[in-house]
Amino acid sequence: MQKFKGQTLSWDSKSGIIELALHRKPCNELGSLSLGELEKFATALADLERDAHALIIYSQLKSGFCAGADLRELYQRSQDMEMSEAVRGVRDFLERIHRVLNTLDAAPLTTIAAVHGVTFGGGFELALACDLIIADKMARFCFPELRLGLIPGFGGIPRLKRDLGNAVVRDLLLTGRSFNATKAQQIGLVSQVVAEGETLRAARATAVQLGKFARQTAVTAKKFIKPIPLDELRREIDLFCELFPRPAVQAGLKKFVESTDVQPYLP
């Protein structure tokens, strides 16, 4: 499918560049609907990549790139069933999203996350599956999962560990603090920081440049430099499922979902 317009995302492919646009309000929270459409994209990618050398993922929403997993859906679903059934549901969801992100991670083209605003949790993990991150100077990154008694579940820790030093990973993970694009570039996470509203333009310019090189060489280089940490990714799913039934997690989710605080996103 060359072109698709769904409820949570759309894609199009022109001149060797695929653009995947996220547009689920309020901030591209990843729930079952988004996952279904991401799976559709991952399937379509097998055809799309034949004529493409680059993929750009960006958000059409002003609020940001992606605020992460849809915690309201996660909480509400887990309330309607026995805990053992809820954990099976969580594991199924995680395994499905890991398949999508592993497909993006290994795709034989260069992938660019063009991010702005909130890039939190699962949204940060989506960006980490890409080869390059281009951020506008108002972008903010965070792994807030610990405040819910959880760890990131969409591959965040193994992919962050692949890209950055362990001390930086511990800081991001254990403090749960958010940090801006300048800091992200300083620690080596972001390749370019651009002015507000300029990420898509910068990503497109980069994608055009990538098209000048021999595709097979780029694919070989990517495969050589970017191994997928499959064992750790599997272990992450297991750990997440071990933590999920704990009362602290259920209490954290309840508090988040029912919060009327003015700062519910702040760790």
Partner 1 sequence: MQTAEKTLDEILALAAAHFKVPRERLTPDGDFFKALGIDSLQTLDLLTKLENHFHVELPDYELQGVSDFRTLAGKIQARL
Other CB atoms within a 10 A radius of the CB of residue 179 amount to: 17
> Are 143 and 176 contacting, i.e. CB atoms less than 8 angstroms apart?
yes
What CA–CA distance (Å, rounded) separates 246 from 248? 5
Binding site for partner 1 (CB under 8 A): 27, 63-64, 67, 117-118, 137-140, 142, 175-180, 182-183, 261-267
Q: Which of residues 10 and 63 has its CB atom nearest to partner 1 in the complex?
A: 63
CB of 62 to partner 1, least distance (A): 10
Q: Which of residues 16 and 176 has its CB atom nearest to partner 1 in the complex?
A: 176
Q: Is 72 exposed, middle or buried (0-12, 13-18, 19+ CB in 10 A)?
A: middle
Q: Which of residues 67 and 237 has its CB atom nearest to partner 1 in the complex?
A: 67
Q: Which of residues 1 and 266 has its CB atom nearest to partner 1 in the complex?
A: 266
CB of 108 to partner 1, least distance (A): 35
CB of 178 to partner 1, least distance (A): 5
CB of 221 to partner 1, least distance (A): 33
Q: Which of residues 133 and 218 has its CB atom nearest to partner 1 in the complex?
A: 133
CB of 63 to partner 1, least distance (A): 6
What CA–CA distance (Å, rounded) separates 114 from 136? 8
